[in-house]
Structure 1
């Protein structure tokens, strides 16, 4: 592990981790790994009101985790940085293989 590099980027790493450290935002990101999705599609998947979902998406957009694309009246979201996929896969390795761990975290 390159400690010097991590020390130099600790602020960025901290902001990124704070941005994804919410169960709804994690669910949003997991669903964006394989596909670009509209706000309406995300609303159905995540089960949040449009206003609550918009707040989570705004936070992720502000931190550069997701990006948007507009097509007429529809806004589509996708992952901005492919490194997010690596982080999500690591979380899957740690938590999803053991449902008992997931139950404790939830």
Structure 2
């Protein structure tokens, strides 16, 4: 891999990690997992105000981490790329290990 390509890949990774660096955005991605959810469902599950949730969802959408589907007046969000879930799983393994069963 040449230096310029590496530099571009590193820049993309840094932007991705910067987006994950907010606890609410990370909670949203963890909550979505492998299923789509409506804004109302996310709001209830996470206990975040709708206005703040909308801002975080807009950022995640702008960064290409989530996608939307509209059904009547309800907007559903889901992960835009299965690779995002790989990162979430690794973070869960590191920071949310299962409790030891003695």
| TM-score tier (shorter) | 0.7 to 0.9
Unpaired runs of at least 5, structure 1? 100-106
Unpaired runs of at least 5, structure 2? none
> Which runs of 4 or more aligned residues in structure 1 lie more than 2 Å from their structure 2 counterparts after TM superposition?
2-8
Q: Give the number of aligned pairs.
A: 98
Shift of 1:93: 1.3
What TM-score do the two structures reach when normalised by structure 2? 0.87
Point out the structure with max Rg over C-alpha: 2
Cα-Cα RMSD? 1.9
Q: Give 2:62's aligned residue.
A: 62
Shift of 1:3: 9.2
Q: Give 2:25's aligned residue.
A: 25
Question: Are the aligned partners of 1:20 and 1:60 in contact in 2 as well (CA < 8 Å)?
Answer: no
| Residues 77/8 of structure 1: CA separation in 2 closer, same or farther (3 Å cut) | same
What TM-score do the two structures reach when normalised by structure 1? 0.84
Q: Give 2:73's aligned residue.
A: 73
Q: Give 1:16's aligned residue.
A: 16
